[in-house]
């Protein structure tokens, strides 16, 4: 009974420690403001950090 409890505790503590989001990018994003950003790299960053409220299509 102690081994499964210890295993569960170790798994939980490992999941809590990961608090960094790392993304490999070719260049730096232009602006970290979703309303002003115009580059593809900025879109990659915002897709990882923000919920989408709007999307670009052929009409926009």
Query: DSSP assignment of 26-59, as one string?
Result: SS--S-S-TTT--SHHHHHHHHHHS--S----TT
Q: Is residue 18 part of a domain?
A: no
Q: Is residue 32 part of a domain?
A: yes
Q: Is residue 59 part of a domain?
A: no
Q: pLDDT digits over 4-37, tens only? A: 565 565 565 555 566 777 778 888 888 888 888 8
pLDDT of residue 7: 56
Number of structural domains in the chain: 1
Give residue 1's pLDDT band: very low, low, confident or very high (50, 70, 90): low
Q: Is residue 6 part of a domain?
A: no
CA angle 38, 44, 48 (to 5 degrees): 130
pLDDT of residue 51: 72
Contact 47, 56 (CB under 8 A): no
pLDDT of residue 42: 87
Give residue 48's pLDDT band: very low, low, confident or very high (50, 70, 90): confident
Instruction: Determine the structural domain holding residue 33 and report its residue range.
Output: 27-52
């Amino acid at each position: 009974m102690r081994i499964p409890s210890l295993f569960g505790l170790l798994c939980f503590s490992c999941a809590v420690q990961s608090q960094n989001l790392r993304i490999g990018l070719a260049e730096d994003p232009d602006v970290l403001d979703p309303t002003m950003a115009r580059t593809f790299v900025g879109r990659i960053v915002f897709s990882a950090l923000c919920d989408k409220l709007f999307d670009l299509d052929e009409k926009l």
